[in-house]
Amino acid sequence: SEKIGLSPKFLVYDDSDQTVLVKECLAALNIDTGKISPNAIVEKISRAKDSCLDPESFALKCEGNPYLMKISKVYELYQKRLMQLEAVDFGDLIRLAVKMFDENSELLSLYRRRWKYVMVDEYQDTNHAQYRLIEHLAREHRNICVVGDEDQSIYRWRGADVSNILRFAEDFPGCDVVKLEQNYRSSKSFIRASAVLINNNAGRTNKEIRTDN
């Protein structure tokens, strides 16, 4: 943690802590909370961190958008205050780990040797920061197994990127892809009806769900 300017006894802020701190930042910047919701700012900051965007990178993406530029100013002060308080939020727990691995190859090698096997469930709901962390840890030894179904990706609103699972075979060429196509819960009529809808999804792996029920 010292490598990113934090004490080993750093605090972890939850959603309510984040909201309180954002409100303090809004007051310090004289931004009217009647025109911009603290909860909306917390959401934007969290999604930025899910994409591994620090305040500077986020500000660059916001150029030309007055509303987002205002949020970027809050994000900048918010992150500065967090570091002063020796604290991180949930988004930082992965984003800052990725940052450390980006900047310190010796540290990355240490953890690659420590964690020689990586398994990820619900891979269709991983965000960009999680993808970067997984790739860092598994890129060298390639002992990685992921489980997921792109048709069940439902968390895009909180940063999930379904392309992570769709391009897994490209990221790790030579991997074995095992399709689990037999459904043990639902009736044939339900499977047929749902397939009519699901088969219209853009960007999906071809699979034929079947059942004996």
Is the overall model pTM greater than 0.75, yes or no? yes
Query: Percent of the chain having pLDDT more than 90?
Result: 74
The mean-pLDDT minimum among 7-11, 56-60, 73-77, 199-203 falls in 199-203
| Per-residue pLDDT tens digits for 19-39 | 999 999 999 999 988 889 999
What's the confidence (pLDDT) of residue 3? Answer: 59
Of the CA atoms within 13 Å of residue 155, those in its CB half-sphere come to 14
Q: Is the CB of residue 119 less than 8 Å from the CB of residue 146?
A: yes
**Per-residue confidence band for 196, with pLDDT thresholds at 50, 70 and 90:** confident
CA–CA separation, 209 vs 78, rounded Å?
47
Amino acid 2: pLDDT: 54
Tens-place pLDDT, residues 60-77: 999 999 999 999 999 999
- Confidence (pLDDT) at 27: 96
Using CA atoms, how far apart are residues 42 and 23, in angstroms rounded to an integer? 10
